[in-house]
């Protein structure tokens, strides 16, 4: 169902606080606002209506190198890595407060640039501020250990910043993905070169303006807006970058891992998924239907942890599918600025065609299209809207069952017993997330413990907490973000031994 008309957003008003150079939104390098060295710009498009919202500097490899130089100087010669944890925490608490103060602005920037409904960008902005707050708090907590060793030695560890961190993020949560990377890295004393997705850089630029207002030392945060193949690859390959943290597709993750071998830099990879949502016949029916919808159609399915495979017990299948499809057909699809909108557009025409390609593949491979499956026209014809889509009667060899679609497309698989549910749940190359719905507590735990996935839920789908680790098994990634794990991922561990019996060792004769 399409949503009603609404007043058109005014891009100039929403972007009024963004810096400009010659009418272009610039990058933030070494504490200065700058255009690309070769002057190239990119028009950013609102995916809800195809209109240009702003022109942004399009970084090339040379601009990424400039940002790495600035970060290197800030880390090697600047004050940041030597500041006390308390001082870094104080600044990060101020960032959190500023994000809260500008919540409405951040929401509208991400809705304008990425199409997400305001109810989603509100969640992102609230969570972003809280993520800064969490890591500001964590900065001052104890991080080292002491060890009882069999010698007169005081032996202990300290955690130190890794150095220059390259951070490459996708378009599906523009503000939140930036913050998941920046907050722990900065709390631990690192400096950052952040490369947002070339499609959605505006909220990261607005965030950089806040850092400037708060007088972070130059070069501590650098934001490079440009494509992956040039700017992104330069960061991943640079021998002057100490760590690269990446969120994005599994294929891109592979290429970043290869580039990172140049200096064996530390890597964290948060990659794709094809996550199972297992529903047993004894589940609370309305709750399971509701979360099955939310699991796949939130953010139009453009979520790495989306519950894109519904694995339902045969005895419940018909009733469950009937209700699910009924509710999917009612989802109000439309412009994110319309308060009635429940599901927004696909990010770009290129990605829309990719999703449509999967829908065509599902049909030709013989899956049964239950609802959706088409691009929406009428007043939504200028945007990239696809109706909530469900495929039933699928089999494990179909592409729509094995590959990440990253759109509003749910595939349904059916099982007869617990063992089959687990086998189906684990039957892809991915292992990011998964859920199980049942009122049998012991069964819920048995199934979750057998699921090869890093983030799991029982009788819910999608809740994500700054306090708890996020990341995948198998080809869904390497390492964990968020929680104390996310902080540790931005530190080196140093062992320190203090001899408590200062005398020659006597190992060699005098």
The window from 191-199, 279-287, 459-467, 495-503 that contacts ligand NAD (CB under 6 A) reads 191-199
The window from 96-104, 170-178, 365-373, 411-419 that contacts ligand NAD (CB under 6 A) reads 170-178
Whole-number Å distance between alpha carbons of 31 and 71: 10
Q: What is the DSSP string of 410-457?
A: EEEEEESSHHHHHHHHT-SSEESEEEEE-S-HHHHHHHHHH---SEEE
Angle separating helix axes 202-213 and 85-101, nearest 10 degrees: 120
User: Which residue, 272 or 362, is less far from ligand NAD as judged by CB?
Assistant: 272
Smallest Cα–Cα separation from 203: which of 129, 277, 259? 129
Q: Please, are residues 248 and 168 in contact by the beta-carbon 8 Å criterion? A: yes
| 247 binding ligand NAD? (CB under 6 A) | yes
- Please give the C-alpha separations between residue 108 and each of 22, 46, 112, 183, 426, in angstroms, as whole numbers: 23, 12, 6, 22, 38
Binding ligand NAD (rule: CB under 6 A), the pick from 31, 114, 272, 483 is 272
| 270 binding ligand NAD? (CB under 6 A) | yes
| 304 binding ligand NAD? (CB under 6 A) | yes
| 430 binding ligand NAD? (CB under 6 A) | no
371 as an active site residue: the answer is no
270 as an active site residue: the answer is yes
What is the residue whose two structure tokens read 């094995």?
402
For the CB of residue 369, give the shortest distance to ligand NAD in the complex, in Å. Answer: 24
For the CB of residue 303, give the shortest distance to ligand NAD in the complex, in Å. Answer: 7
> What is the footprint of ligand NAD within residues 203-232 (CB under 6 A)?
227-229, 232
> What is the footprint of ligand NAD within residues 470-489 (CB under 6 A)?
472, 477
What's the first-to-final CA gap in the chain, in angstroms?
A: 89
> What is the footprint of ligand NAD within residues 1-60 (CB under 6 A)?
none
> What is the footprint of ligand NAD within residues 394-423 (CB under 6 A)?
404, 406
Under DSSP, is residue 114 helix (H, G, I), strand (E, B) or coil? helix
Which residue's Cβ has the minimum distance to ligand NAD?
228
Neighbours of 297 (CB within 10 A): 26
Q: One of 270, 356, 404, 481 is an active-site residue; which one?
A: 270
What angle is formed at CA 92 by the lines to CA 88 and CA 97, rounded to 5 degrees? 150
| 113 binding ligand NAD? (CB under 6 A) | no
Q: Please, are residues 347 and 172 in contact by the beta-carbon 8 Å criterion? A: yes
Binding ligand NAD (rule: CB under 6 A), the pick from 271, 279, 288, 424 is 271
* 177 exposure class (CB count in 10 Å sphere: 0-12, 13-18, 19+): buried
Binding site for ligand NAD (CB under 6 A): 168-172, 195, 197-198, 227-229, 232-233, 236, 247-249, 252, 255-256, 270-273, 304, 404, 406, 432, 472, 477
Active site residues: 270, 304
């Amino acid at each position: 169902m399409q949503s009603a008309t609404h007043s058109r957003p005014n891009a100039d008003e929403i972007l009024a606080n963004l810096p400009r150079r010659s009418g272009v939104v610039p990058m933030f390098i070494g504490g200065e606002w700058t255009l690309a060295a070769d002057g190239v710009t990119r028009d950013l498009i609102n995916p809800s209506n195809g209109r240009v919202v702003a022109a942004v500097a399009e970084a090339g490899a040379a601009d990424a190198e400039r940002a790495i130089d600035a970060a290197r100087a800030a880390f090697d010669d600047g004050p940041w890595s030597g500041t006390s944890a308390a001082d870094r925490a104080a600044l990060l608490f101020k960032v959190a407060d500023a994000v809260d103060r500008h919540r409405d602005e951040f929401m509208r920037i991400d809705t304008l640039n990425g199409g997400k409904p305001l109810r989603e960008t509100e969640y992102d902005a609230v969570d972003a501020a809280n993520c800064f707050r969490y890591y500001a708090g964590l900065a001052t907590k104890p991080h080292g250990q002491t060890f009882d060793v069999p010698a007169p030695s005081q032996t202990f560890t300290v955690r130190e910043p890794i150095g220059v961190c390259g951070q490459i993020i996708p378009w599906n949560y523009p503000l939140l993905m930036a913050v998941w990377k920046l907050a722990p890295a900065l709390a631990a004393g690192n400096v950052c070169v952040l490369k947002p997705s070339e499609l959605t850089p505006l909220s990261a630029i607005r965030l950089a303006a806040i850092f400037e207002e708060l007088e972070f030392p130059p070069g501590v945060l650098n934001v490079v807006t440009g494509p992956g193949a040039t700017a992104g690859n330069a960061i991943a390959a640079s021998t002057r970058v100490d760590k690269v943290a990446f969120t994005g597709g599994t294929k891109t993750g592979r290429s970043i891992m290869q580039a990172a071998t140049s200096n064996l830099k530390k890597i964290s990879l948060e990659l794709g998924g094809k996550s199972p949502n297992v529903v047993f016949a004894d589940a609370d029916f309305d709750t399971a239907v509701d979360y099955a919808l939310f699991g796949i159609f939130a953010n139009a399915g453009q979520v790495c942890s989306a519950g894109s495979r519904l694995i339902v017990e045969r005895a419940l299948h018909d009733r469950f599918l009937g209700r699910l499809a009924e509710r999917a057909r009612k989802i109000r699809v439309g412009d994110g600025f319309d308060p009635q909108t429940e599901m927004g557009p696909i990010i770009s025409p290129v990605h829309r065609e990719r999703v449509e390609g999967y829908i065509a593949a599902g049909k030709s491979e013989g899956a049964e299209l239950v609802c959706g499956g088409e691009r929406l026209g009428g007043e939504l014809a200028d945007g990239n809207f696809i109706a909530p889509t469900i495929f039933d009667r699928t089999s494990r060899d179909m592409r729509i069952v094995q590959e990440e679609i990253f759109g509003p497309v749910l595939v349904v698989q059916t099982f007869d017993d617990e063992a089959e549910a687990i086998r189906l749940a684990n039957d892809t190359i991915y292992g990011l997330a998964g859920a199980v719905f049942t009122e049998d507590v012991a069964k819920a735990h048995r199934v979750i413990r057998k699921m090869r996935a890093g983030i799991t839920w029982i009788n819910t789908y999608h809740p994500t907490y700054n306090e708890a680790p996020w990341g995948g098994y198998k080809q869904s990634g390497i390492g964990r973000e968020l929680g104390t794990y996310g902080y540790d991922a931005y530190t080196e561990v140093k062992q320190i031994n203090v001899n408590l019996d200062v005398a020659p060792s006597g190992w060699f004769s005098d």
